[in-house]
Amino acid sequence: MDTTHLTKFYKKNHDDKIDSLFLAGVISKKEKDRLLDRTLELDPETGSHMIENYIGNYSMPLGVAMNYMIDKEELVVPMAIEEPSVIAASSFAAKIIGSAGGFKTTVIHRMMIGQVTLKNVPDIEEATNNVAEAKQEILSRANEAYPSIVKRGGGAKNLDVRLLEDDTDSGIPSYLSVHIHVDTQEAMGANIVNTMMEGIAPYIEELTGGTALLRILTNYATECLATSKCVIPAHKLKTQDFSGEEVRDRIIEATQVATIDPYRAVTHNKGIMNGVDAVVLASGNDWRAIEAGVHAYASRSGQYRSLTSWSKNEAGDLVGELTLPLPVGTVGGSISFHPAAKLAHSIMGHPKAHKLERVIVSVGLAQNFAAVRALVTEGIQKGHMGLHARSLAISAGAKGDHVQQVADILKHSKHKNLQRAKNILLNILEEFEK
Ligand code: NDP
């Protein structure tokens, strides 16, 4: 990638942005033409095969975050999001972190977990022993239910049994849950795992004497974790009003608050998900699955807490770390035929699933850094309202150059609301007609 074409990307007009992505080697000529011809839309035939009662497409802006350096590799990151300021904040944070060596990531393993959950198990101990003894046979049957994933090098690899204890206070009886650990290779694997669970359920019933109530993967993907870390020298954090050390300490303190206070933690983590969801969505992955798993992971201690940790090292640098469960795929679902998802994968250089995880977790860390840094210094509204002003201008009916004109006046207005935007637009139009 030749990043010289991408400098001051945000200042270029729409067509020049696309051209510079082409010149930098991020997109192909064909992709450039598709973007310029605005033909990234789903066609109605594909749409009606994807969902039931299809009536049209719901458009979401697709943008790119700049300046990412992940494991020493420069990357442009596609993001699908309707909220202003997220991509600007992402690129800003990535620039600071990139100038300090960038993100260093780890992905230990990529395993999905399927559950066969049984009710009315007559003898829990006997059932548990029977399942443990039949482990190889259960795994073989799971693999027979989805042989192609075995041919691809994956498949069911391990199992364990969990007793879900009864809760006499609420009258809930005990259940037994058999967990199968599945390597789904490049796929997120929901359908692969679900097929396996349905395939082995009758045999598990035979072994346990219970009735299989549920046969599906869990979205709590605790064996599909990705971590990103960054180290930022304090001097890079300096603002007009605060020294670098003050900003560093305030970021650490703000994260302490999000670690002990769920009210703050939810908002802190929402900021992380601004970035995570945008890449998950752009890459055609199931963002509901990621959202559900991430928030469960934030509660793993028994209390909902900050997902990031920020601390200082001996040199006084700010050290950030984020770990997320990220069961994303590079195949499966609509990834291989959704035109915008295909483009997103191409922009990232067709990453393997583990690399896509590394990108997403790094974006989450950057997004958190940008949000907390802004919060503990000038406040979030300065940057946010500046960009939000454009949305208000569009809502007020501004078109073409008038959008920026209305936004510029609105930015300096005391009241930044829709009515004010409408009044500003009216004044501009009246001036225009004079
Ligand atoms: P698919 O059902 O599309 O299965 C993956 C497909 O990718 C298979 O057809 C497989 O082919 C193909 N493939 C090609 N190359 C590879 C490779 N290298 N590694 C693995 N597979 C490969 O998708 P998933 O099983 O991933 O399921 C994801 C979908 O399931 C998402 O759309 C999600 O929304 C949905 N879903 C989610 C649920 C949840 O999260 N709770 C529940 C139910 C559905 P082959 O078969 O030839 O191996």
Q: Among 115, 144, 150, 152, name the best residue to mutate to test ligand 1's pocket (greatest count of ligand atoms within 8 A of Cβ).
A: 152
Residue 405: what residue type? Q
Q: Could you tell me if 122 and 153 lie in one domain?
A: yes
Annotated active-site residue 286? The verdict is yes
Annotated active-site residue 83? The verdict is yes
Residues in the chain: 434
Residue 411's pLDDT is 82
Domain with residue 138: its CATH number is 3.30.70.420
Q: Which of 184, 135, 178 is nearest to 155 (CA)?
A: 184
Domain assignment of residue 147, yes or no: yes
Q: Could you tell me if 416 and 401 lie in one domain?
A: yes
Last residue of a domain, one of 356, 378, 400: 378
Q: Whose CA is nearest to atom 34 of ligand 1?
A: 286
Annotated active-site residue 384? The verdict is yes
Last residue of a domain, one of 218, 252, 278: 218
Number of Cβ within a 10 Å radius of residue 149: 24
User: Containing domain of residue 163, as a range?
Assistant: 111-218
Domain assignment of residue 24, yes or no: no
The CA distance from 272 to 258, in Å, is 12
Residue 194: what residue type? N
Q: Among 151, 182, 192, 334, name the best residue to mutate to test ligand 1's pocket (greatest count of ligand atoms within 8 A of Cβ).
A: 192
Domain assignment of residue 5, yes or no: no
Write the CB contacts of 370 (distance below 8 Å, at least 6 apart in sequence): 89, 90, 92, 93
335 lines ligand 1 (CB under 6 A): no
CA distances to 385, 390, 401, 416 from 412, rounded to whole Å, are 10, 13, 18, 8
Number of domains forming the structure of the chain: 3
The CA distance from 228 to 107, in Å, is 9
Q: Could you tell me if 232 and 341 lie in one domain?
A: yes
Q: Could you tell me if 176 and 258 lie in one domain?
A: no
Dist. CA 225 → ligand 1 center (Å): 19
214 lines ligand 1 (CB under 6 A): no
Residue 383's pLDDT is 66
Q: Whose CA is nearest to atom 10 of ligand 1?
A: 332
Q: Could you tell me if 372 and 424 lie in one domain?
A: no
Q: Could you tell me if 241 and 371 lie in one domain?
A: yes
Q: Whose CA is nearest to atom 37 of ligand 1?
A: 190
Catalytic entry in 19, 73, 74, 83: 83
Q: Whose CA is nearest to atom 8 of ligand 1?
A: 332
317 lines ligand 1 (CB under 6 A): no
Q: Whose CA is nearest to atom 19 of ligand 1?
A: 186
Domain assignment of residue 148, yes or no: yes
Residuewise pLDDT in 10s, the chain (434 residues) = 888 999 999 999 999 999 999 999 999 999 999 999 888 889 999 999 999 999 999 999 999 999 999 999 999 999 999 999 999 999 999 999 999 999 999 998 899 999 999 999 999 999 999 999 999 999 999 999 999 999 999 999 999 999 999 998 999 999 999 999 999 999 999 999 999 999 999 999 999 999 999 999 999 999 999 999 999 999 999 999 999 999 999 999 999 999 999 999 999 999 999 999 999 999 999 999 999 999 999 999 999 999 999 999 999 999 999 999 999 999 998 998 999 999 999 999 999 999 999 999 999 999 999 999 999 998 877 766 667 788 888 888 998 888 888 888 988 888 888 899 899 999 998 887 77
Dist. CA 201 → ligand 1 center (Å): 20
Q: Say if CB 135 and CB 189 are below 8 A apart.
A: no
183 lines ligand 1 (CB under 6 A): no
Q: Could you tell me if 195 and 303 lie in one domain?
A: no
Residue 430's pLDDT is 86
Q: Could you tell me if 306 and 252 lie in one domain?
A: yes
Residue 412's pLDDT is 83
Q: Could you tell me if 192 and 275 lie in one domain?
A: no
Residue 7, Cα to own-chain centre: how many angstroms? Answer: 26
Domain with residue 88: its CATH number is 3.90.770.10
Residue 184 Cα: closest atom of ligand 1: 20
189 lines ligand 1 (CB under 6 A): yes
Secondary structure (H, E, C), 55-86 = CCCCCCCEEEEEEEEECCEEEEEEEECCCCCH
Quick check: helix, strand or coil at residue 159? strand
Residue 217 Cα: closest atom of ligand 1: 41
Domain assignment of residue 286, yes or no: yes
Q: Whose CA is nearest to atom 42 of ligand 1?
A: 190
